[in-house]
Amino acid sequence: SPDFQWPALEERDACALCYTSGTTGNPKGVLYSHRSTLLHSYATMMPDALGIARRDVVLPIVPLFHVNAWGNPYACPIAGAKLVFPGSKMGDGETLAALINEEKVTLSAGVPTVWLGLLAHLKKSGQRVDSLERIIVGGAACPLSIMEDLDSYGVSTRVGWGMTEMSPLGSANAGDSERDKYSTEDYARLRLKAGRPIFGVEMKIVDDEGKALPWDGEAFGSLLVRGPWVCSSYFKLEDSDAHEREAGWFETGDVATIDADGYLAITDRTKDVIKSGGEWISSIEVENAATDHPKVAEAAVIGCYHPKWSERPLLIVVRSSDGQDVTAAEILASLEGKIAKWWMPDAVEFVDELPHTATGKVQKLKLRDQFSGYAFKA
């Protein structure tokens, strides 16, 4: 309305309240201020983050209740970029392809399952999405196969990492701008990583005693972060400091490595990590390797009881539409050489679908309930 009266607001006043998705428990509220939201928006617009400019047409394929659609509804108006919303059909590949082409979308953001749906439609229909230049993938690990399929359509893929408690962006992988520095194999490994922390976010990894670990790409431990848009406590749970291991640092609940170039790689969630014979197994790396198989649509790994090793990995697979004949033995054979031998799943179970949250994340809590009686033999 031309008669709208802009209110006078203090920068530290409350701006928005979003709840964590609750994949491992009850959702908790994170309250953002105008100041934290504005600073986060500035940071996400930087070239090596989301790189949002006035010329862009941005399609956030994430709901507004999911960390304010990753902050795009704030960053895009600041830049003057056009915003396109998919409504209730954000998971429908045909609708997304039509919307991208009609609105000339240049940048989009969404979880991996969204891109699986879009790619399936493009392959089936023969359509293209020529205006689309780049996408941001977050919310879950993105298989290399998705990135390489998008490459064939001329679409660059950037992995981002963050969480509701971080407004959400914490890191972004801009390795695509340095493609010529790497061999094909090194670039494939690099682009799977969550990228470097964006300016304003500090990170460190620590061991069980809270001792800082080296950035060598080998040591992995609990990931801690801090910054002006990282939450200090949960809404109406201010007395709870369970998320803080060290004053001023937020404990993310992720297990990670950081290499000498500052690239972050998430290896697991603390609550999802599989400890077999006293050693950690990265479920994310096993899942990524499994989804490289052309007849695997989705995969998830959980730990199940083993009388000798305490627990061992169980691989749960959703077959692709043209892979109904693929066997467990074929999938396990495809993992050889891609993961450590002792990471090899002890079994493969096939399901019609994996349980997801409303934002597209796999609900491992439900999977563990579903396979709660599963046990391996010694």
Judging by DSSP bridges, how do beta strands 134-137 and 196-197 pair with one another? Answer: unpaired
Terminal-residue alpha carbon distance, the chain: 71
Q: Which run of H or E residues covers position 75?
A: helix 72-79
The question of whether 104 is a catalytic residue gets the answer no
Q: Which of 204, 280, 338, 349 is catalytic?
A: 280
The question of whether 270 is a catalytic residue gets the answer no
The question of whether 275 is a catalytic residue gets the answer yes
d(CA 241, CA 378): 40
d(CA 92, CA 47): 30
Q: Give me 265's structure tokens.
A: 């790689």
CB atoms < 10 A from the CB of 2, how many? 3
Q: Which of 124, 271, 275, 308 is catalytic?
A: 275
**3-class DSSP assignment, residue 240:** coil
Peptide bond into 168 cis (omega under 30): yes
Question: CA separation (Å) from 322 to 56, 115, 133, 351?
Answer: 36, 18, 28, 15
The question of whether 165 is a catalytic residue gets the answer yes
Q: Which of 113, 165, 193, 298 is catalytic?
A: 165
> Beta-strand (E) ranges in 229-370?
250-258, 264-269, 274-276, 279-281, 296-306, 310-319, 347-350
Candidates 154, 159, 147, 145; CA nearest to 297 is 145
d(CA 73, CA 58): 9
Catalytic residue list: 20, 165, 275, 280
